[in-house]
Amino acid sequence: MIWSLKKRLGGFRRREDGTATLEFAIMFPMFVFMLLSGVEIGMINFRHSLLERGLDMAVRDLRIGPTFAPSHGELKESVCTYAGFLPNCTNSLKLEMVQVDMRNYTSMPGDSDCTDKADEVSPVRNFKAGGANTTMVLRACFKFDPVFPLSGLGKDLATQDGGQAAMIATTAYVQEPR
């Protein structure tokens, strides 16, 4: 009886049909993981470049544009208008602007809080418009939903409340004299 079992298993071991299925079953999850991670990182890079562009264009207007300092809401609207394709930008974006003394430089705090969609109204963290010839640092934090939140890179993103991830863009500029 043991002899016949060994004979059957030996014959099964020598057969080669089904080997492609085995390779497919082993390799397919890795390819899907790489594909989903590639799409996710592509969307993150796309959104981040739009956020950087929107912030740079809004700061360019702020630097050489109006004779009055725009409010937090006006600057946020300007960033969102220039950024274009950021979903729900006005509710998912938070700006922080601080005046920097170049002779006694202190960096901005490392933690950047983003908007929380659970809170209807969140106060402005720090937003002070500077005067002529002052160096200003503007930090924008945008929260977004990952494309594939349960697989690939989307699963490994540092998410906050509600499963959203945050991206931060920072720029500095000097106010032109009026």
Share of the chain above pLDDT 90, in %: 19
pLDDT digits (tens, 9 = 90+) for 41-59: 999 999 999 999 999 999 8
- Strand arrangement, sheet containing 93-100: 93-100, 135-144, 165-174
Q: Are strands 165-174 and 93-100 parallel, antiparallel or unpaired?
A: unpaired
pLDDT of residue 42: 93
Main-chain dihedrals φ then ψ at residue 48, nearest 5 degrees: -65, -40
pLDDT of residue 48: 95
Indicate the average pLDDT of the chain: 79
pLDDT of residue 117: 39
Per-position DSSP letters for 94-138, written without gaps between them = EEEEEEE-TTS--PPPS------TT-S----S-B----TT-EEEE
What are 39's two structure tokens?
Answer: 């799409």
Residues belonging to the chain: 178
Q: Are 107 and 91 in contact (CB under 8 A)?
A: no
pLDDT digits (tens, 9 = 90+) for 97-118: 888 887 887 777 776 667 543 3
- Burial (0-12, 13-18, 19+ Cβ within 10 Å), 176: exposed
Q: Where are the domains of the chain?
A: 19-174
pLDDT of residue 12: 66
Q: Are 147 and 43 in contact (CB under 8 A)?
A: yes
Output the pTM of the full model: 0.76
Residue listed under structure tokens 């057969």: 15
Arithmetic mean of pLDDT, 166-177: 84
Question: Picking from 13-17, 24-28, 45-49, 143-147, which range would have the lowest pLDDT averaged per residue?
Answer: 13-17
Alpha helices (H) along the chain? 2-14, 19-64, 72-83, 89-92, 153-156
Q: Please report, for residues 47, 59, 86, 93, 105, the alpha-carbon distance to residue 54 in angstroms, rounded to integers and kept in the order given.
A: 10, 9, 10, 12, 26
- 98 vs 8, residue with greater confidence: 98
